Amino acid sequence: MFRRVAFCGAALFASIHLLTSAPAYVPSSQLPPLPAREFRGAWIATVGNIDWPSKSGLSTEQQKSELLAILNRAGQLRLNALIFQVRTSCDALYASKLEPWSEYLTGKMGQAPEPFYDPLAFAVEEAHKRGIELHAWFNPFRARYHSAKSPVTTAHISKTKPRLAHTYGKYLWLDPGERDAQEHSLAVILDVVKRYDVDGVHIDDYFYPYKEKDSAGRLLDFPDDASWKRSGMAGKMSRDDWRRENINSFIQRLNTAIHAAKPHVKFGISPFGIWRPGHPEKIKGLDAYDALYADARKWLQNGWLDYCAPQLYWAIEPEAQSYPVLLKWWTEQNLKSRHLWPGNNSARVGSPWKPEEIANQIALTRKQAGASGNIHWNVSSLMSDAKGLAATLAAQTYTQPALVPASPWLDKIAPPRPAVTLQYDAAKDRFEMFWQSTEVEPVGRWLVQTCTGGRWESFVAAAGSKSGNIVKSGGRFPELVSLIAVDRAGNISPAAVLEQRAQ
């Protein structure tokens, strides 16, 4: 299904390789095969220097080098999206006037990289050069990570608005029941949406925090007495329902605000993989609805997001948290036909999983109606191939490029057919392919397809590119060359196809 090698109707060109001069190309009515559609993503976690940078305090050039290595590996594996954590705990891995620089860059909160660069701007630019989407990942309410070491600066929200941030166990946490806390996080996220050319906004499973315990081992309740009292909802709804409604309201408002600012930017959430135990039957585990006050089923059913990436971090076989059983359940909740791209625990390969576990999970996703991609936790699991996962994915799973599935609820108008020409370069014995859009709307990327010896191959080119090289394969030039424009919502144009003229 995802191996995009098809056969073109070009038998009359069987002897083309015998030509001694460059062939001529003319417009053709033949069509290429439809491109594969699959979201292939990976998380880049910056909190605690999990994935990037490998440690705080690296030089600008070292940080850039590590990030380029991640992007290059993503390109080699034919991934088409990366989810880059830019706000770990009310900090910023980009130039922000609203929050201080993250300590995970320089080792000191509030200190910018030196020589200066903007990691998010750099990541967006380099990802787009490779035809890869870059989604900005935010933690909306965590204010201080448990292993943070740098002193908190005076610009941090715990200093500027201390009533919004509470100590909870080993963490500092914004109170979702405080309207000002929600407004602050919304402002931070929208600032990024407006200033950076990101393809998506992503939040993970941290809403209200996972339960912490005191020194005696007793569960701690979240310290929101003041906001609960001020809400005036006591006697009208339970405190648990009020907390859930705080998160529901935030999700709904964020979804609306993102699309009002930039309609093509996708909003995605990766909730804990189990909504509630017993849903579906026999499933056991954490109750995210009760513990995190996260009603992810409601968000999906109401279409308050563009993609849902439930963290299905379990193996295929165990009945209590079966990957295919949970995947099917999530697809059944997708009443608005949004994207469902489950997260996979690729970090478990080698301890104790084999690479085939992840490959088989992706195969099951492809077979499940209503699911159209996967996200790997985490990108570090793909960087070193000591455990064989990257090689397995490259050789068996991601053998050809794929486009991110279209989001027709954001935009369903296909771009027009692009203009394309070929010019022969005799000195290099190759064709230069030139193209351009025929409308003002920005192109998201280009899909170049060539048919040589009856076999189609696909290549994704960056949005800003306007040319490429067409070279011989097996001693011959392609019989057919096709170009498709892909807009920011994933809609594709009619193909502009050129074929060799019979001589």
Contact 72, 23 (CB under 8 A): no
As a dihedral over the C-alpha atoms of residue 320, residue 322, residue 325, residue 331, rounded to 10 degrees, the angle is 110
Q: Which domains does the chain have, with CATH numbers?
A: 11-35+410-500 (2.60.40.10), 39-397 (3.20.20.80)
pLDDT means per 10 residues in the chain (503 residues)?
44 36 93 96 99 98 99 98 99 99 98 98 98 98 96 98 97 98 99 99 98 95 98 98 99 99 99 98 98 99 99 97 98 99 97 95 99 98 90 97 98 96 96 92 93 95 94 95 97 97 75
pTM of the complete model: 0.95
pLDDT of residue 13: 36
Count of other CB atoms within 10 angstroms of residue 2: 17
**What's the maximum distance between 2 C-alpha atoms anywhere in the chain?**
87
pLDDT of residue 279: 98
Q: Three-class SS string for 203-242?
A: ECCCCCCCCCECCCCCECCCCCHHHHHHHCCECCECHHHH
pLDDT of residue 503: 65
Distance, in Å, from the CA atom of 481 to the CA atom of 424, rounded to the nearest integer, reads 14
pLDDT of residue 17: 36
The tokens describing 87, both together, are 């706000």
pLDDT of residue 8: 60
Backbone φ and ψ of 381, nearest 5°: -70, -15
Backbone φ and ψ of 488, nearest 5°: -65, -20
Distance, in Å, from the CA atom of 451 to the CA atom of 478, rounded to the nearest integer, reads 5
